[in-house]
Amino acid sequence: MTPHSPEVPGTPSAPAIKPPRHFALRLLIGLIVGIVGLILIVILTVCFGLAMAYPNLPDLDSLTDYHPKIPMRIFSADNVLIGEFGEERRNLVRIKDIPDVMKKAVLTAEDDRFYEHGGVDYVGIVRAALNNLSGGPKQGASTITQQVARNFFLSSEQTLKRKAYEILLAWKIEHNLPKDQILEVYMNQIYLGQRSFGFSSAAQIYFGKSLQEISVAEAAMLAGLPKAPSAYNPVVNPKRAKARQQYILQRMLSLNYITAQQYEQARNEELKIKPDSNEFGMHAEYVAEMARQLVYEQFKEEAYTRGLNVFTTITKADQDAAYLALRRGVMEYEKRHGYRGPEAFITIPDAKDEADEAIEAELAEHPDSDDMVAALVMKVTPQKVYAQLASGEEITISGPGLAFASTWLGDKAAPSHRIKRGAVIRVV
C-alpha cells in the first residue's frame, strides 16, 4: 500500500474541466431567430407596400353605378326578336330576380365560401394548395370578388404585382359593396362563351329559356362555363361540359344545396342544347338591318351598348308567309333549271379520327338553312349517295330524292360539278 501524501496547505488544486459549449443549439436558435426576423421584415415590407398602394387603387364607380354593355335588339310588332346588334350579348338581371338554384350552382362552382370571407378566402387557398399537392383535381383559390376585380380593373397577365393589386381591389370592393351587389355584378358581367355575357343571356343562348325557367341540371351546366368558356362549351365540347356539370352537381349535393332526389334527377336529365346560337324567332334579316341603320344614324356607336329595343311594324304571321312563298318560288326555279353542283370539295383523310375532324370543320363552314341541311358525301354509286351530317348521322339518298341531281353522278359530269366523295351537298 502506497502511503497517501498529505496535501500541503496553500498549494493550488488542478483546474476543473468545463463541459463543451453547445454550439449546435446556439446555432439553431440563431437560425430560427434569423428566419423569424426575415419573415417579419418581409411581412412589414409587404404591408408597407400595400398601405402605399391602397390609396392609389381605381375608383369603384363602374361597380357602384353598374351599367353594362347591352346590345340593340330589334323586335316585330308582336314582340318577336328578329335581330340583335352588339359585341356583347347580355340581359341585365337584378339579384332578386336570379333563381336560387342558379346562385347556388355558381357559388358551388366558383366560391362556396363567398358569404363568409372578406374578399380573399384564406381557407380556400390552403384547401386548394393541399388538394393540388395531394394530386387531386387542380383547384384555384380566386374568389368571386377577386374575379370581379380582375375583370373590371386588371389585365390577364400572371405576375405577383397584378395578384397583389387583385387582392387589394377585392378588399376595397368588399368594403364598399354589399355581398349581393358583388354577386349581381359578377353574374351579369362574366363571359360564358358564344358571345354571351352573364347567365341570363347564356340561358337563352344555350337552352332557349329565360333564367327563371332553367332546371337544376341546366344551372349546373351554365355554372361550369366561367372556369373555361371554350373548354366547357356544351355546343362544341359536350363531353367535357357534361363532366364539369356532373362534378358541380356532386358538390351541390355535398354542400346540401340540393337533395339526393334532385341530384339523381339532374344527373340523369338529358339536356337539349340549342345548336344555333344565332337563331331568331323568324326570318326578317333585311328588316332588322334597315332598323339598325336608322338607329345608328341617330346614336352612332352607343346604339350597340345602350340596350335599345326597337319595334318594327311587321308581324310574325305575315313575315313567315312571305318568307315561305319566296322560298317555295326559289326552290321551284332551281328544280326547273337543274342542280348546280356541290358547294365545295375536300379530301377526306383515310384515318377515322382525322376524317371526323375534317368533316366537322368543313360542315361548320356551311351552316344549315332551315330544312336545307349541309352534308358531306362519303361514297357514291350509280343509284345511291351516302353522306354524313354535321351531327355524325349517316344518310342514304336514292330514288326520287336523287333524281334532281342524277346527271352529276356519272364520270361524264364536269369534275367541278360531279357529286363524288368529299363533295358538300344540301339535303332536305
Highest-scoring range by mean pLDDT, 161-175, 214-228, 271-285, 387-401:
214-228
Q: Provide mean pLDDT across the span 67-79.
A: 95
Domain endpoint, select from 287, 313, 337 = 337
345-378 pLDDT, tens digit per residue, is 999 998 888 888 888 888 888 888 877 889 999 9
Q: Is residue 412 part of a domain?
A: yes
Q: Is residue 249 part of a domain?
A: no
Q: Is there a contact between 363 and 390 (Cβ–Cβ < 8 Å)? A: yes
Q: Is residue 57 part of a domain?
A: yes
Residue 166's domain comprises 35-62+118-178
Q: Percent of the chain, pLDDT > 70?
A: 87
- Report which of residues 133 and 323 the model is more confident about: 323
pLDDT at 135: 61
Give the whole-angstrom CA distance, residue 194 versus residue 278. Answer: 9
Query: What is the tally of structural domains in the chain?
Result: 3
Q: Is residue 323 part of a domain?
A: yes
Q: Is residue 215 part of a domain?
A: no
DSSP letters along 97-117, please?
GS-HHHHHHHHHHH-TTTTTS
Q: Is residue 321 part of a domain?
A: yes
- Report which of residues 139 and 264 the model is more confident about: 264
User: Would you state the cell numbers that stand for residue 145, as one nine-digit string?
Assistant: 370578388
Q: Are residues 282 and 382 in the same domain?
A: no
**Residue 155 belongs to domain with CATH number:** 1.10.3810.10
Mean pLDDT of the chain: 86
Q: Are residues 360 and 418 in the same domain?
A: yes
Q: Which of the four pLDDT bands, split at 50, 70 and 90, describes residue 51?
A: low
Q: Are residues 136 and 39 in the same domain?
A: yes
pTM of the model: 0.70
Domain endpoint, select from 157, 178, 199 = 178
pLDDT at 22: 66
**Residue 378 belongs to domain with CATH number:** 2.40.50.140
Q: Are residues 80 and 124 in the same domain?
A: no
pLDDT at 1: 46
Q: Are residues 284 and 327 in the same domain?
A: yes
C-alpha torsion angle, residues 269, 270, 271, 276 (rounded to 10): 180
Domain endpoint, select from 129, 160, 178 = 178
pLDDT at 59: 84
Sign (positive/negative) of CA torsion 408, 414, 419, 425?
Answer: negative
Highest-scoring range by mean pLDDT, 39-43, 249-253, 386-390:
249-253
pLDDT at 2: 47
Answer whether residue 170 shows pLDDT above 90: yes
List b or e across 380-395, with b for residues whose CB sees 16 or more CB atoms inside 10 angstroms.
beeeebbbbbbeeeee
Closest Cα partner for 182 from 247, 243, 110, 236?
110
Q: Provide mean pLDDT across the span 88-94.
A: 93
Contacts 24+ apart (CB under 8 A), 139-142: 142/166
230-285 pLDDT, tens digit per residue, is 899 998 889 999 999 999 999 999 999 999 999 999 999 999 998 765 578 899 99
- Report which of residues 296 and 417 the model is more confident about: 296
Q: Is residue 318 part of a domain?
A: yes
Give the whole-angstrom CA distance, residue 411 versus residue 420. Answer: 10
- Report which of residues 329 and 353 the model is more confident about: 329
Give the whole-angstrom CA distance, residue 149 versus residue 229. Answer: 19
92-133 pLDDT, tens digit per residue, is 999 999 999 999 999 999 999 999 999 998 887 777 667 656
Q: Are residues 309 and 397 in the same domain?
A: no
